[in-house]
Amino acid sequence: MTSKRLWYYLIGVMVISFAVLIYYGAEIYRKVPPIPERVMTTEGRLLYTGKDIKDGQNVWQSIGGQTVGSVWGHGAYIAPDWTADYLHREALLLLEALAGKEGRIYKNMGEEEQARYKIILQKELRTNTFDEKTNTIYLSPQRATVQQQLANYYSRLFMDDPSMNKLREAYAIPINTIKNRDRMDKMNAFLAWCTWVCITQRPDDSITYTNNWPHDELVGNIPSSALHIWSGFSILLLLAGLSFMALYYAKNKEEEVEELLPLEDPLRNMKPTPSMRATLKYIWVVGLLILVQMLAGVVTAHYGVEGSAFYGFPLDQYVPQSVSRSWHVQLAIFWIATSWLATGLYIAPAVSGYEPKYQKLGVNILFFALLIVVLGSLTGQWLGVMQKLGLEANFFWGHQGYEYIELGRIWQILLLLGLVLWLVLMLRALMPALKRKDESHHMLLLFIASSVAIAVFYAAGLMYGRQTHMAIAEYWRWWVVHLWVEGFFEVFATVVAAFLFTRLGLLRVVAATRAVLFSTIVFLSGGILGTFHHIYFSATPISVLAVGATFSALEIVPLVFIGYEAYHNYQLSKSTRWIQAYKWPIYCFISMCFWNFLGAGIFGFAINPPIALYYIQGLNTTALHGHAALFGVYGILGIGLMMFVLRGLYPERQWNEKLIASAFWLINIGLFLMLVISLLPIGIMQAIASIKEGYWYARSAEFMQKDIIHFFRWMRVPGDILLGAGELLLVIFIIGLRQGWSLKEKR
């Protein structure tokens, strides 16, 4: 198939997929659960207003939002999911109130009598009492009383009641997390509304706004038929996709031809330009960020076993869990993105053989701009969580409260401007090569297209505001997290890897171009609309669930056959004597293939089908997939790209094999151990608890503080030590390239 025809297919996939994505996005806008003007009792007493709910959302964001437990299943893992927790507590209190209204004690009743009250309870909770004409939600007096009891409970938890110290310890929530009673009242209104969304039937009485999530049989939240149907359909589609890919690879294997490999390294005599040498400082900063991110991860993991301190030191008063976790996640994105950006800046002049005027100045300006964003956003997050900013100031300068997009809006805008500057620098350097229209023309076009996507699609994070409806904010947030990080960065990585191999003369440009175009088509066919699998239960319509389930299954198809790519890369690493100089960048690409298969493929599909995610969204199974995919795939690929750049910047000498080999294997083995002997068993135990007892129980202090859970939390230590040692050796190796201890004899 010609490259031109593949381009038509790629454009068609992009246009159709984004049209569907935007269409169903409009459906989300149209069918969002209402934020009422007021919430009142049926007797006419005002409980709270819509403004209180929106302000409460901002209070929740200011304390860290999705880094302190979760809402609608999205967020951190130590504290509960507040909507599931609130819903179950509300149900228990309401049962007591309903029985007490008749002079009875619910827990003393027989099963048949309790069953009658459960039916009354479900009717009370699930009936949609929103009046569209008056824009008001009406609650019964007894439910209003229960919500006041819960408001008191959460106020004591998030403020300073000494009787809640033990529970705060279990949840890693510092005393006086919220210091102001007015703020606490507003956050209570927000939690009450979020929970109302989880249990209230849609206007057609078919299902709740969150598609019957979270699982809690007491209130009638059980999987709907749609979850079973679309889960089954997704598996059938996966099998069909696998059959198609098997046929493709069988045919492709027959067409393989022996490559005439160069006798010497084609890049050996390439002289780095000033702007290419300027990327070295990016790599040094990446090394520093890796170490700081590792320390933030150690602190965050330790909060799971000692919720208010770090080996006795009251660290939560200075760096709360919500801050350490925000830094851990944000720094991962920063160092991975920086390594990729540096690689792009290095490759552009290398490909074109052209150094534009002031290119080095642009590279240096971008470097300092990125430093400002990193340091400024991390500082802002700390100020926000420590309640040192007003609600508006927090949104712009502090902590947005959304996982992976924790940085304040100003820092978001500055980062977007930095990405645009990076794109301009790339285009300036690549333009002469693009004008040549030789056999690498299509590869260059794809490289530029993926670079444009990286710069542009981050802008989706600006599409929601400070008080945007949560369902809409989640829609746009996953544009960034899924399409930007998991989507177009994946395309960029595929193109860059192909570029490197073609520049080394290991792959024919035409064959590599067609392979990359085909891989991109297959990946984006499922990847774009697969965005919806993240928001099955974020107050979205059933149609979103159907589309997400269908296409997220297709995301797995190319990953199942990624072993073919890994084996091919391994063969290339053994193909000639001189290629040994590039052994460790290639080994990183092979490792990335392994983690893509295991982390994104196996662990990803384990939680992707709607019926699976219904029970295990936001459990340690999500952390399992997240660590394996984010660090295992994108992190190790970032390290591999850095290794390639460093090989070009230090071309004359062999490397210290023992040092870089130790770093490589310790990182991979440490990550594997951390996942399979800690996160995986905890996730499995939580999944069983969620299925048997309810989602609220799988996230509760009662379950998560069991001795067996603590044991497996401590089992992270061996893997963490190996992973940390590997990262430290990696940084020592990078420094040693400058100082000399990482260099050996001449090549």
3-state secondary structure of 580: helix
Q: What is the mean pLDDT of residues 180-184?
A: 96
Burial zone of 44 (CB within 10 Å; 0-12 exposed, 13-18 middle, 19+ buried): exposed
Q: What is the pLDDT of residue 277?
A: 95
CA-to-CA distance for 61 and 53, rounded, in angstroms? 12
**Distance in angstroms (rounded) separating the CA atoms of residues 675 and 204:** 43
Are 391 and 250 in the same domain?
yes
Question: How many other C-beta atoms are found inside a 10 Å radius of the C-beta of residue 416?
Answer: 17
| Digit-coded pLDDT (tens) for 708-723 | 999 999 999 999 999 9
Residues 236 and 213 placed together within one structural domain of the fold: no
Instruction: Tell me the C-alpha to C-alpha distance, in Å, between residue 531 and each of 391, 396, 560.
Output: 30, 26, 19
Residue range 266-282: mean pLDDT, rounded: 89
Does the residue 380 lie in any domain?
A: yes
Q: Which two tokens stand for residue 699?
A: 């996230």
**Nearest-CA neighbor of 515 among 599, 592, 588, 442?**
442
Please give the mean pLDDT across all residues of the chain. Answer: 92
Q: How many other CB atoms sit within 10 Å of the CB of residue 314?
A: 11
**What pLDDT, in 10s, does the model give residues 6-65?**
999 999 999 999 999 999 999 999 999 999 999 999 999 999 999 999 999 999 999 999
Domain count, the chain: 2
Residue range 75-79: mean pLDDT, rounded: 95
Give the integer Cα–Cα distance in Å for 211 and 228: 12
Mean pLDDT of 661-673: 97
Find the length of the chain: 747
In a domain, 238, yes or no: yes
Question: Dihedral of CA 99/100/104/106: which sign?
Answer: positive
198 with 231, same domain? no
Angle formed at CA 438 by CA 432 and CA 442, multiple of 5 degrees: 90
Q: How confident is the model at residue 558 (pLDDT cuts 50, 70, 90)?
A: confident
Q: Which of 401, 398, 587, 424 is nearest to 477 (CA)?
A: 401
Secondary structure (3-state) at 706? coil
Predicted pLDDT at 654: 87
Shared-domain flag, residues 107 and 234: no
Place 520 in a pLDDT band, splitting at 50, 70 and 90. confident
Measured CA to CA, the distance from residue 373 to residue 227 in angstroms comes to 42
Using CA of residue 550, residue 551, residue 554, residue 559, what is the dihedral sign? negative
Token reading at 315: 């660290």
Residues 6+ apart with CB under 8 A from 10: 517, 520, 521, 524
Contact 412, 401 (CB under 8 A): no
Q: Are residues 390 and 301 part of one domain?
A: yes
152: pLDDT confidence band, cut at 50, 70 and 90?
Answer: very high
Could you tell me if 344 and 286 lie in one domain?
yes
Residue where a domain terminates, one of 222, 251, 271: 222
Same domain, 475 and 511: yes
Q: Other CB atoms closer than 10 Å to residue 120's CB: what's the count? A: 13
Q: Are 554 and 574 in contact (CB under 8 A)?
A: no
For residue 623, is pLDDT > 90? yes
- Per-residue pLDDT band for 257 (boundaries 50, 70, 90) equals very low
Share of the chain above pLDDT 70, in %: 97
Which of 651, 669, 691 delimits the end of a domain? 651
Q: How many CA atoms lie within 13 A of 42 on its CB side?
A: 7
Mean pLDDT, residues 535-556: 91
pLDDT bin (cut points 50, 70, 90) of residue 726 is very high
User: What mean pLDDT do residues 418-426 have?
Assistant: 96
Q: Say whether pLDDT at 268 is over 90.
A: no
pLDDT surpasses 70 at 569: no
Assess if residue 693 is contained within a domain.
Answer: no
Token pair 């088509």 is found at 521
Please report the pLDDT score of residue 259 as a whole number: 55
Do 185 and 248 fall within a single domain? no
In this predicted structure, what is the pLDDT of residue 744? 86
- H or E, element range at 131: strand 130-131
Residue listed under structure tokens 């393989």: 256
- pLDDT recorded at residue 593: 85
Amino acid in the structure at residue 377: S
- Please enumerate in sequence order all residues whose Cβ is within 8 A of that of 678, keeping only pairs 6 or more positions apart, or say none: 712, 713, 715, 716, 719
DSSP 172-217: T--TTSS--HHHHHHHHHHHHHHHHHHHSBPTTSSSBTTTTPSPBG
| Residues in a beta bridge with 201 | 208
- Is 475 a domain residue? yes
List the Cα angle 389/167/607 in 5-degree steps. 85
Distance of alpha carbon 444 from alpha carbon 83, whole angstroms: 48
User: Can you tell me the distance from the alpha carbon of 458 to that of 452, in angstroms, rounded to the nearest whole number?
Assistant: 10
Residue where one domain finishes, among candidates 619, 635, 651: 651
Same structural domain for residues 202 and 265? no
Is the pLDDT at 554 greater than 60? The verdict is yes
The pTM assigned to this predicted structure is 0.94
368 contacts 410 by C-beta, under 8 angstroms? no
Looking at the structure, do residues 201 and 329 belong to the same domain, yes or no?
no
Determine the Cα–Cα distance for residues 280 and 282; give it in Å rounded to an integer.
Answer: 5
**Mean pLDDT, residues 607-626 taken together:** 95
pLDDT of residue 138: 98
219: phi then psi, degrees, rounded to nearest 5? -105, 5
Q: Point out which residues pair with 136 in neighbouring strands.
A: 38, 131
Which has the minimum average pLDDT: 151-155, 460-464, 564-568, 666-670? 564-568
Q: Determine the pLDDT at residue 565.
A: 67
Q: Is the per-residue pLDDT at 660 higher than 80?
A: yes
Q: Per the domain annotation, does 185 fall within a domain?
A: yes
User: Both 464 and 391 in a single domain?
Assistant: yes
Q: Is residue 125 part of a domain?
A: yes
Contact at 8 Å (CB) between 504 and 582? yes
**What's the rounded Cα separation, in Å, for the pair 471 and 197?**
11
Is residue 97, in this structure, part of any structural domain at all? yes
Q: What pLDDT is recorded for position 353?
A: 86
CATH code, domain with 534: 1.20.210.10
pLDDT digits 0-9 by tens, 183-233 = 999 999 999 999 999 999 999 878 999 999 999 999 999 999 999 999 999
Nearest to residue 114, comparing CAs of 96, 89, 141? 96
Residue 665 burial (CB count, 10 A): 15
Evaluate whether residue 692 is within a structural domain: no
In contact, 558 and 522? CB cutoff 8 Å: yes
Please give the share of the chain, as a percent, with pLDDT higher than 90. 74
Q: What is the extent of the structural domain holding 466? A: 227-651
| Residue 78 near residue 173, CB atoms below 8 Å | no
Same domain, 203 and 256: no
What distances in angstroms separate CA 245 from CA 233, 260, 378, 483, one per listed residue?
18, 28, 44, 23
Lowest-confidence region among 84-93, 315-324, 572-581: 572-581
Please tell me the distance from the alpha carbon of residue 744 to that of residue 102, in angstroms, as a whole number: 85
Residue 255 has pLDDT above 60, yes or no: no
